[in-house]
Structures are given as C-alpha cells and as structure tokens.
Amino acid sequence: MRKRRSLERFDLKLPVIIEVLGDAEKKTIELETSNISSDGAYFPTRRPLKRGEKVKIRMVLPAARGKKEKPFRQALVEVEGVVNRSEPRGMAICFQDYWMTSLGV
C-alpha cells in the first residue's frame, strides 16, 4: 500500500541554490526541483547529500499575475531544512523554516 501525503505536490522545476549548514567550508550546490510542496521538495542529483544534513535553500518563485497596479511579481524564498531521504538518484528535503521577500515587478 502506498503512503498518502497530506499536502499536495506540484511537478515544478525550479532552479535552487542549496547551502550545506554547519560545514567548515561553505559548500553550495545548484540543482533543480522535480516536485515541491509547502513542506518539502525532491531534488534529482547523482551526488545526494547525506540523510540528516541541514541545509539552506534559495529559490525564486516565478512571476505571477496579480492586481492591475502590480501585474507581475517574483518572490525570493529562503528555506532551512533537513535531508530526510537520500538515494542514488536524488534526495528529498523537508522544509522547516522559510522566509519570502518580494522582488517587485
């Protein structure tokens, strides 16, 4: 029987920058999401991080139509999270805390 997720996932490819926290050397990785929800995302990669590693993720959400006075807006989203699944084809990261900043029109 397949486990049902409580939050809807979206097949969305977003470029992200992942920074490994707690590492003496600043280590960053540029990847792309394959699916995402409000509580986590999956990242295909041949070099996944280890389960339990803490990370900070930066991504820009695409422009969306809004009110007439501000029809297009983007948002910078910064997320802290933990790698909760690591496998040869990729990794799943569970989001913990996040911040959004409007990038304007």
Which tens digit of pLDDT belongs to each residue from 23-59? 777 899 999 999 999 899 999 999 999 999 999 999 9
- Is 32 part of a structural domain of the chain? yes
- Is 72 part of a structural domain of the chain? no
Q: What own/partner pairs with CB < 8 Å and gap ≥ 24 does 14-17 have?
A: 14/59, 14/60, 14/61, 14/62, 15/59, 15/60, 16/41, 16/43, 16/57, 16/58, 16/59, 17/57, 17/58, 17/59
Instruction: Identify the domain containing residue 30 by its residue range.
Output: 15-58+80-97
User: Across residues 75-82, what is the average pLDDT?
Assistant: 93
Per-residue pLDDT, 74? 82
Mean confidence (pLDDT) of the chain: 86
The residue that leads in pLDDT, 68 or 90, is: 90
| Number of domain units in the chain | 1
Has this prediction a pTM greater than 0.85? Answer: no
